[in-house]
Structure 1
């Protein structure tokens, strides 16, 4: 009989890579990170289906929180579009172009249009009420970009998305190595906060035997324990959810008792296909 190695998720509990689709205007959507699961994620969301014309797509662009492979490899899946608009910080753009050679690979198929993400609130596109602002949270760069680019906390950012029509805001931070003051300010008055839930506790990677480093050293604040994020989230007025769960995280099991602990704090775990209206 086949057996499951420790930390391996049964197929019925598989979670896809963390990503968001944000509606900027009627028929105009932006992806927040482009994952290896992009094809399946688009198929499961009718609003993202291509058409009605040939080579027409409602996907207007991609917003990147960092340059990690699980957040960027899906960009190649968009090569059939005539143009791909990519919003990224300067270090992330440099890593994708200089190390992954994304421009060399994709420009024979589609034009790449780069927009810089920074600390200023930017309108996603003309006529859209949705704005985006980058909140620097970490200087952790991906392994393939080691030794390149500037030492800056804009390698990993959270995104603060605001609907100017309603004044409501969402903060998305799927990778969170620290909780800097700028991030606290961004979430203090937000209406929805979705954050890094990669590991339940700090020793999980070492206990699982797949790393000699702690969760924090790997660039992910744990949920529970000293320095954990659960109690920080519980103090916010926003609706708070965890995303980006590793397969060793007990929250990957819907029956795990850790869910009750989060429920008591008023914090949720985001589910695949979840829709959030602000």
Structure 2
């Protein structure tokens, strides 16, 4: 099984287009300690020929340009005028930074979009997604705990994780940390190997830790290092927990939540532009590495 990180950042990427927080300022200045990152998405394959996207970020067009295995030239016959090794997309939620890239896939490519009924309902309620011609793009509901095989040899199943509804669906009272089909993680299985992709999660529960014990690698929500990080950076008022993302540090953070959990290779993904771990050599980067974590980067490849 192959996993290819197309984008490793949270919404807005790194540097964010209008941000001058400390991390973004370094990135804008070309400081080599901060590697630019696009918005979170990965591609998975059992054989390196047919691929499935897990989320479709607004940066998808540039991500495809940078990903040679996803080029139309891959295994193309001379007579092929329109083809892609991308066979399907699975959405983990309805966040803008996970669904907007679907609009890039509108040129009559045969695709299947997998998502829960709730997330497919979000697409159905917004007529702009009608550009995905239903004669070519199939929308396939997937239930929690259901396994699907979008391409030969690759099995995907989804499960609820603590989260919340997308920002644009929030009302006056927002439930944060509830488990429903609006925020899911993905189990990817092929050739006897298992990987878990969980780009959004509000807490590390005992059930979640038990679930991923059969995994070889987990790509997990690394949005913020400190819960009040955006406030500290002077760029926002919301905490990580208010956004449905637990922090890396702190008593309820992911470093403590996963402490001592050794069976799985652990990689942080979906990293916000304010997160100081993005600065190579920073104390925060050293802390997560000492705890056994890696930091995902655009173009990272994992073979299992």
TM-score (norm 1): 0.88
The alpha carbon displacement at 1:26 in A equals 5.0
The alpha carbon displacement at 1:162 in A equals 1.4
Change (3 A) 1:182 1:92: farther
Spell out structure 1 runs of 4+ moving beyond 4 A. Answer: none
Which of 246, 252, 276 is the equivalent residue of 1:227? 252
Asked whether the equivalents of residues 234 and 267 of structure 1 are also in contact (C-alpha less than 8 Å), the reply is: no
- Structure 1 residue runs of 5 or longer lacking an equivalent are none
The alpha carbon displacement at 1:152 in A equals 6.2
Equivalent residues in 2 for 1:9-88, closer than 5 Å: 9=24, 10-11=27-28, 12=30, 13-25=35-47, 27-51=49-73, 52=76, 53-88=80-115
Asked whether the equivalents of residues 158 and 171 of structure 1 are also in contact (C-alpha less than 8 Å), the reply is: yes
Q: Deviations over 1:42-90 (max 9, x none)?
A: 1111110014211111000101111101111111111113322101011
The alpha carbon displacement at 1:22 in A equals 0.4
- Structure 2 residue runs of 5 or longer lacking an equivalent are 1-18, 172-177
Residue equivalent to 2:292: 266
Equivalent residues in 2 for 1:190-201, closer than 5 Å: 190-201=215-226
How far apart are the structure 2 equivalents of 1:102 and 1:152?
Answer: 28
Which of 197, 209, 223 is the equivalent residue of 1:184? 209
Change (3 A) 1:266 1:26: closer
The CA RMSD measured in Å over matched residues stands at 2.2
Change (3 A) 1:26 1:239: closer
Which of 268, 276, 284 is the equivalent residue of 1:250? 276
How far apart are the structure 2 equivalents of 1:23 and 1:226?
Answer: 37
Which of 20, 27, 39 is the equivalent residue of 1:5? 20
How far apart are the structure 2 equivalents of 1:207 and 1:244?
Answer: 19
TM-score (norm 2): 0.81
How far apart are the structure 1 equivalents of 2:254 and 2:233?
Answer: 21
The alpha carbon displacement at 1:190 in A equals 1.4
The alpha carbon displacement at 1:102 in A equals 4.5
Query: Highest relative contact order (Cα 8 Å, sep 6+), 1 or 2?
Result: 2
Residue equivalent to 1:132: 156
SS of residue in 1 equivalent to 2:258: helix
Q: Deviations over 1:168-201 (max 9, x none)?
A: 2111111111334442222233110111111001
How many residues get paired?
A: 268
How far apart are the structure 1 equivalents of 2:227 and 2:44?
Answer: 31
